[in-house]
Amino acid sequence: MPRSILAAACSLAAAIAVAAPAAAQGLAVTHRITAAVANQLVADAVTACKEQGYNVTAVVLDTDGVRQAVLRGDGAGIATPRVAYDKAFTSVATRTDTGALVERFKTTPPSQFFLKEPHLLLLQGALVIKAGDETVGAIGVSGAPGGDKDEACAKSALDKAAGQLK
């Protein structure tokens, strides 16, 4: 009797192992930034800017444009949370760093879609967050005296987190 129970259990386990991949064929696998990493990214970006004397806000979004983390640094302006969000939204929606978009649109005018879609903002200061080749979010920074400085703070944060985004 115990041998037949063991055989039945093994048969059931084998059936489940074979059926599980078939059941998941209609699902897409995506990766998300953990809350801990998202919070660390915004803290590191705000700190990097603060060390240079800039009071900024940093925002991390997932690929759906949902805020995962926000940190408004001490003394950051009233509009910085919205602008940082819009920069990050633009980056994740286009899967492009906003600095690259700014450069591209110097020679090629943006489409009507870009001009009319809410939250798309053509300002440097947001970077795509990738895990390998997969886009997993974006980080936007606002408040430094220039988008290049916002972007440098975002890059500093991403560089620190590189080992966690593999």
The CA distance from 139 to 36, in Å, is: 14
Domains of the chain by start residue, with CATH: 35-164 (3.30.450.150)
Rounded to two decimals, what is the model's pTM? 0.83
DSSP reduced 3-state for 130: strand
Q: What is the pLDDT of residue 4?
A: 53
**Token pair belonging to 27:** 């699902």
User: Three-state SS across 52-111?
Assistant: CCCCCEEEEECCCCCEEEEEECCCCCCCHHHHHHHHHHHHHHHCCCHHHHHHHHHHCCCC
| pLDDT tens, position by position, 123-137 | 999 999 999 999 999
Q: What is the pLDDT of residue 43?
A: 98
Residues 95, 128: contact at Cβ < 8 Å? yes
Residues 115, 61: contact at Cβ < 8 Å? no
For 138, counting Cβ atoms within 10 Å of its Cβ (0-12 exposed, 13-18 middle, 19+ buried), the class is buried
With a pLDDT cut of 90, the percent of the chain lying above it is: 72
Q: What is the pLDDT of residue 12?
A: 45
For range 133-157, the mean pLDDT: 97
For range 37-50, the mean pLDDT: 98
**Token pair belonging to 111:** 């489409």
Residues 149, 54: contact at Cβ < 8 Å? yes
Identify the H or E element spanning 4: helix 2-23
